A = this chain, B = another copy of it.
Amino acid sequence: MEDATTPQAEPQTLYPVIDNTKDYFIERDGVRYAGNHVLVEVWDAIHLDNPTIIEAALCQGARDAGATILHSHFHHFSPYSGVSGVVVLAESHISIHTWPEKAYAAIDIFMCGDCDPHDALPSIKKALQPKSMDVSAHKRGVIK
């Protein structure tokens, strides 16, 4: 008979465990590194106060890049109606922070493995229709 004073607790998974074999270091042009991280400055864009449109665009961008979406979370701010959100990927993340009053958004897209963060840009461009986008690319985790 089991001891009623020491019940078996249900195992708790506070942090979801995800099988991920794509999260490897990559080697390209003789450089071995963890992944590519692009910072995107979005200017003169529309819909920057609309979290529904922004989340759909970022998630579509993730899928277009062949990434796997694990979680997304977005906030809508007041009084300036900005939006902040992140999409957590098996291959890293996409984030956005918008300033509608300046028609500006800061996006960063980090993807490891075979995924290229640049492949996420067309869906974002289509949704937000910016007059200009400045993209800087950074290799993360370069092994020297």
Contact = CB atoms under 8 A, between A and B. Distances in A.
Residue with the greatest number of chain B CB neighbours at <10 A, chosen from A41, A79, A106, A143: A106
Given A23-B77, A76-B15, A112-B97, A41 B86 contact: no
Contacts of A14: 51-52
Given A17-B77, A76-B16, A140 B39 contact: yes
Contact of A95 (B19, B77, B79, B93): B93
Interface residues of A, number: 51
B140 A37 contact: no
Contacts of A89: 84
Interface string A114-130: 00000000000000000
B88 A92 contact: no
A141 B106 contact: yes
A106 B62 CA distance: 19
Given A77-B90, A99-B141, 5 more contacts: A15-B83, A21-B79, A34-B97, A97-B112, A102-B143
Interface of A: 14-21, 23, 25, 34-35, 37, 39, 41, 51-52, 70-71, 73-80, 82-86, 88-90, 92-93, 95, 97, 99, 102, 104, 106, 108, 110, 112, 136, 138, 140-141, 143
